[in-house]
Structure 1
């Protein structure tokens, strides 16, 4: 199968490209940096990964998100509509639906994004769904939660480095549950979507099967490093005050990053598993995280 991937040089794109190539597909890489990009219409699938990632330091201008995440998506999708390419897979985000969630996030949750990142993804989704598809075409909106894997430089890496240096975990007072998504499980699901031609168009959440707490994550990292877990149960009021100060002073701990580390955010993956008729994903949450952590040692 001939597959075009945008954002193929990024963390997700490079891993997904290799996975699909190993399965015997021909993967073409399309850069959208040139506004006059040309879409190779001799393909079967477009996987649109390119986008402006959420900036937890909040230093990016709002219009940058809309130019990249909404406007480029619209342009690429219009090209798709005027081609014989069968499938368009757009990687949106759970943040296109909600920045905070009570209970478990399902695909039918009312969307009310609060950040420019979430709003730009949601506006792109709305445009895609506003267009009529020809009978032989499919559109998939993928909403992944926090993605990790070997080569990832995100919050897991920061947490790992902190514990490796012997620093205590100061947020043990916060008990939470969060969903993660290993790059292996993401790649598996994308491949299954492409292969299953009877799968209908729609919105699908991507997440690992189990949610875990940040405290559990700290324990996993400590065990992997052969270190004793150091937990500090500081008063929440002090931590919240420090994070608000971080917003003003542009410090590493701000309210945005505190939310990512301590809030509940559980995402259901039941819809995609039911649609694909699978009981569980290849890696458990713990197996996926351990694989990511082992890569940091290298």
Structure 2
């Protein structure tokens, strides 16, 4: 089978290319530019497609392809500096996705796997975990664009016969992770006291190795066609438990302080960081029963294994930085 991976030099894309190639797939990696490092061993071919949007020419990239794994997107950015983020999200995530799907139909592609986001379902859970039918009544420009991209793909599936599979992952972590998860690892490594020992929230996450395995299951399994799936590692943990896991993988004792979550939220509001604090103390659980039962998918890595691999990468990265310094 021949697979085109968009966003191939990104965090998830590079992992998917490597895993697909290792399993014997022909992999064509589509990247915006060749500036970012990308190992030729991770794909059979690498092709530059430029900026993704309504005018992207996909003809060469799609030639001879059976399945598209569409991972490229304009991602959610805290305190986005763009003068018009809504238009930017629409151009890349909605119009760019629609253009790719229509071109895929013309090229004879049979299936498109679309990596969406759990933010389409919502930002927090209370009494139960999210399921596939949950759609948030309140969305930011990023999640609106992902939801509209899902709707556009489903419309193309209905009208033109392209098989579409939508995956909504929660927070993805693993070697190469950035942003808040990397900052948390860094704080644990530096023994910075974190006032989170009283936090009893529950959050779903997914290790990048589990996500790539689930994507491949959606590429291969006949019953995945025209379905939406929520996925996770299958073990929901609190922020304090996550910190303890990270510290254990480092061979350290976690530096946790007892501060009531209500006080943490109040301080976060005063500091103008309510969104960041909500992610630390709030719950976000997803129910991945559907993909497990319908496709027989089981995550190949436990959350402990995923955290250990992520910490190992972080420590190796720090060693390399020290040597260069």
TM-score (normalizing by structure 2): 0.84
More relative contact order in 1 or in 2 (CA 8 Å, sep 6+)? 1
Is the counterpart of residue 274 in structure 1 residue 274 in structure 2? no
Say if 2:199 and 2:260, in contact at 8 Å, map to a contact too: no
Residues in 1 aligned to 2:73 and 2:285: alpha-carbon distance in whole angstroms: 24
Moved more, 57-66 or 5-14: 57-66
Moved more, 285-294 or 221-230: 221-230
Query: 2:14 matched to which residue of 1?
Result: 14
Query: 1:250 matched to which residue of 2?
Result: none
TM-aligned CA deviation for residue 134 of structure 1: 4.8
TM-aligned CA deviation for residue 227 of structure 1: 2.3
Say if 2:206 and 2:231, in contact at 8 Å, map to a contact too: yes
TM-aligned CA deviation for residue 113 of structure 1: 4.2
Query: 2:283 matched to which residue of 1?
Result: 264
Residues in 1 aligned to 2:262 and 2:169: alpha-carbon distance in whole angstroms: 31
Q: Any idea what the Cα deviations from partners look like across 1:15-74, whole Å, max 9, x if unmatched?
A: 100100111111112245344322323110011101111112343433222221111111
TM-score (normalizing by structure 1): 0.91
Q: Gaps spanning 5+ residues in structure 1: where?
A: 248-253
Say if 1:211 and 1:285, in contact at 8 Å, map to a contact too: no
Residues in 2 aligned to 1:152 and 1:214: alpha-carbon distance in whole angstroms: 17
Q: 1:114 to 1:28 in 2, by over 3 A?
A: same
Q: Residues 22-101 of structure 1 correspond to what in structure 2 (within 5 A)?
A: 22-30=22-30, 31=32, 32-34=49-51, 35-39=55-59, 40-60=62-82, 61-101=85-125
TM-aligned CA deviation for residue 286 of structure 1: 1.9
Q: Which secondary structure does the structure 2 equivalent of 1:267 belong to?
A: coil
Residues in 2 aligned to 1:98 and 1:237: alpha-carbon distance in whole angstroms: 21
Q: Gaps spanning 5+ residues in structure 2: where?
A: 33-48, 317-325
Structural RMSD (CA) = 1.8
Aligned length: 290
Residues in 2 aligned to 1:234 and 1:182: alpha-carbon distance in whole angstroms: 29
Residues in 2 aligned to 1:5 and 1:45: alpha-carbon distance in whole angstroms: 9
